[in-house]
Structure 1
Amino acid sequence: MPPHPETWLRVTPQGLYCEPGGFFIDPVRPVDRAVITHGHADHARPGHQAVLATVETLAVMRARMGEGGAGAVQQPIGPGEVLEQGGVAIRLVPAGHVLGSAQVVLDWQGSRAVVSGDYKRQRDPTCAPFQPVPCDVFVTEATFALPVFRHPPPEGEVAKLLKSLALFPDRTHVVGCYALGKCQRLIRLLREAGWDRPIHLHGALAALCKLYESLGVALGPLEPATVANKAALRGAIVLAPPSAVQDRWARRLTEPVVGVASGWMRVRQRAKLRGVELPMVISDHADWDDLNRTVDEVGAPEVWVTHGRDDALVHALGQRGIRGRALHLVGLGEEDEGGTEAPPATGEGDAAAVRGVAAGTDVAAVSRGEGL
């Protein structure tokens, strides 16, 4: 009988460790051997001796952390390629999260585990789509694992932005979006919707946009956003880090329409508290329906949850006869700006569901969607 993955994959202070292979997946501390799922800073950290990742993820790590930050030894692995380490066959398949993001497929002695990293199932014109892989254990995130989180088509959210531009042609529209993944996806969605004018970028977003273009993702005309030249930004789209749209940088613009592109904009109270006039529900994480659909498609009898709203997801899985296990990996989902989406503030309305689960109330009712 093949060994159960819990006998060869274990949680350590550094992160998830593959014992026969002698490597960690997305470790939060420096290690000798690391396999990295994608370039967001809560998953890709500096200081590792040897790093295995996709070509794109290694490029992102070098851009964000310097040449040495991507590992003293950097080993890219291409689509369909299999590498063996300590008898463990390793391959990377697309996760659909950001450019270069990958699931780690591990096969050892007839047993298979898939570590998904962060992922989404909606279409993204900047990266390869998620590929379901049948397995014995599926390791998933649970960032939006509550029934209240059902992400609408992103094309409709972009249409809201363009409609606002048509209604207020003299106002600058400033949209907060994360530097890696969300920014470039939003640009491509705008291009697909017909916006061919220059898109203005806060300086913190420019380097990764340049990297995306060097890796084959065309973004069209981009220009720096300079608040000193406010007249030139009338009727323009400006993209900036979420933190910048709430400080004096954005407020210095003339009558800005402030937007934020995030899955957390589904929580209306959060948008209100942050002064967001144009909330855009665009997420690079799977929502409640897609999390459950993915579990069905991979067919794993057991699902491990790395971080997020694990209690509701584990309960819902149990109702379907699937064994769920919360790993409580420390350090994942904690990046404020680099790419993951910060936890929601509690409030009224939709946010009551978030507050209720966090307080340990009726998880069964939440997983059924009652009151949401």
Structure 2
Amino acid sequence: MPPHPETWLRVTPDGLFCEPGGFFVDPVRAVERAVITHGHSDHARPGHAHVLATAETLAIMRARMGEDRAGATQQALPYGETLTINGVKLWLRPAGHVLGSAQVCLEWQGSRAVVSGDYKRRHDATCAPFEPERCDVFVTEATFALPVFTHPPAGQEIARLLRSVALFPERTHVIGCYALGKAQRLISLLREAGWEAPIPLHGALMKLCTLYEELGVTLGPLVPATVAGKEKLAGAIVLAPPSAIADRWARRLSEPIPCLASGWMRVRQRARQGGVELPMVISDHADWPELLATCTEVEAGEVWVTHGREEALIHALAQRGIRGRALHLVGRGEGEEE
């Protein structure tokens, strides 16, 4: 009988450790061998001796951390290609979260576990879509694991934005969004909706947008938001980090309308506290129905929940005959990125 994954995959102070393979998945501290699901800083930490990830994730880590901190040795593994480490079979499947994001699939002595990392199930032209993998244990995130979090179609939120732009042509709409994943997805959604104008960007977003282009993701014309004067930004859609939409930087814009793109915008209080006039419920994480559907789709008899709303998801899974377990991993962010 194959050994249960709990006998060879365990939680340590450094993170989730595959004992027979001798490596960690998304460790929270520098370790000898790390497998990284994606480039967000609560999953990709600096200083590991050996890092295995998709080529895109490695490129993102180098861009964010520097070549010397993204792993002394870096090994790229394409989706679906199998590698054996000390008898443990390892392969990566797309997670649909950001460019290069991957689920880590592990098999040892006939027992299979899949570590999802962060994932979403919605359309996103800037990254490969999520691919379910059947397993004995599925390790899932639970960022939005409450019934209140049912995300609307992203296109619907973009349409709301464009209606507001048409209604206030003399003002600048400035959207708060994270530099990795969310900014590029918003640009792609705007292009799909027919917005062809150059999109001004805060300087903090430009580097990763340029990297996405270098990695084959077409984003269309982008310009620095600092180049144009207030009058030229009237009617424009500007992207900036969430921290910038209400600070002095935004004062250079033409009567700015603060917007924020996040799954947390489902909670009205969060929007009010942040001074957000146009909340946009666009998330790069699975919502409540998608979490439940994914846990059923992978046909795992047991689901381990790494962070977020653990208790609610475990209770809902139990009603579906699936055993749940909270891993209480430290160092994971609550928000879209950090």
Amino acid at match of 2:40: H
Contact 1:11 1:329 in 2 (8 A): yes
> Which residue of 2 is the match for residue 94 of structure 1?
94
Q: CA deviation at 1:252?
A: 3.8
More divergent stretch after superposition (267-276 vs 4-13): 267-276
The 3-state SS of whatever aligns with 1:209 is helix
> Which residue of 2 is the match for residue 60 of structure 1?
60
> Which residue of 1 is the match for residue 176 of structure 2?
176
Gaps of 5+ in 1: 343-372
After superposition, the C-alpha distances for 1:29-75 in whole angstroms (9 at most, x for unaligned) are 00000000000000001000000000000000000000022100000
> Which residue of 2 is the match for residue 120 of structure 1?
120
> Which residue of 2 is the match for residue 163 of structure 1?
163
Contact 2:95 2:129 in 1 (8 A): yes
**Aligned length, in residue pairs:** 338
Partners of 2:319 and 2:68 in 1: how far apart? 47
Q: CA deviation at 1:79?
A: 2.1
After superposition, the C-alpha distances for 1:166-210 in whole angstroms (9 at most, x for unaligned) are 001110110000000000000000001000000000000000000
Contact 1:55 1:77 in 2 (8 A): yes
After superposition, the C-alpha distances for 1:274-324 in whole angstroms (9 at most, x for unaligned) are 111110000000000000000110010100000001010011111112110
> Which residue of 2 is the match for residue 130 of structure 1?
130
> Which residue of 2 is the match for residue 207 of structure 1?
207
Q: CA deviation at 1:228?
A: 7.1
Amino acid at match of 1:18: C
> Which residue of 1 is the match for residue 261 of structure 2?
261
The 3-state SS of whatever aligns with 1:243 is helix
After superposition, the C-alpha distances for 1:105-158 in whole angstroms (9 at most, x for unaligned) are 001000000000000001111001000000000000000000000000000100
> Which residue of 2 is the match for residue 46 of structure 1?
46
> Which residue of 1 is the match for residue 286 of structure 2?
286
Contact 1:14 1:28 in 2 (8 A): yes
Amino acid at match of 2:258: V
After superposition, the C-alpha distances for 1:218-255 in whole angstroms (9 at most, x for unaligned) are 00000000187211111111000000012111134231
Contact 1:140 1:303 in 2 (8 A): yes
After superposition, the C-alpha distances for 1:74-95 in whole angstroms (9 at most, x for unaligned) are 0000122111101000000000
Partners of 1:263 and 1:80 in 2: how far apart? 30
Partners of 2:191 and 2:237 in 1: how far apart? 12
Amino acid at match of 1:185: R
1:65-76 correspondence runs (5 A)? 65-76=65-76
1:29-40 correspondence runs (5 A)? 29-40=29-40
> Which residue of 1 is the match for residue 233 of structure 2?
233
> Which residue of 1 is the match for residue 147 of structure 2?
147
Contact 2:105 2:115 in 1 (8 A): yes
Q: TM-score, normalised by structure 1?
A: 0.89
Confirm whether residue 10 of structure 1 aligns to residue 16 of structure 2.
no
Partners of 1:155 and 1:120 in 2: how far apart? 15
Amino acid at match of 2:278: L
Confirm whether residue 222 of structure 1 aligns to residue 222 of structure 2.
yes
Amino acid at match of 2:196: D
Q: Percent identity?
A: 75
Amino acid at match of 1:66: G
Q: CA deviation at 1:269?
A: 1.4
Gaps of 5+ in 2: none
Amino acid at match of 2:21: G
Runs of 4+ in 1 over 4 A off after TM superposition: none
Amino acid at match of 1:196: E
Aligned-residue CA RMSD in angstroms?
Answer: 1.1
The 3-state SS of whatever aligns with 2:104 is strand
More divergent stretch after superposition (103-112 vs 77-86): 77-86
Partners of 2:53 and 2:298 in 1: how far apart? 22
Amino acid at match of 1:149: F
Partners of 2:280 and 2:301 in 1: how far apart? 35
Partners of 2:282 and 2:227 in 1: how far apart? 26
Contact 1:227 1:252 in 2 (8 A): no
Contact 1:113 1:137 in 2 (8 A): yes
Contact 1:227 1:249 in 2 (8 A): no
> Which residue of 2 is the match for residue 187 of structure 1?
187
Partners of 1:18 and 1:231 in 2: how far apart? 57
Amino acid at match of 2:19: E
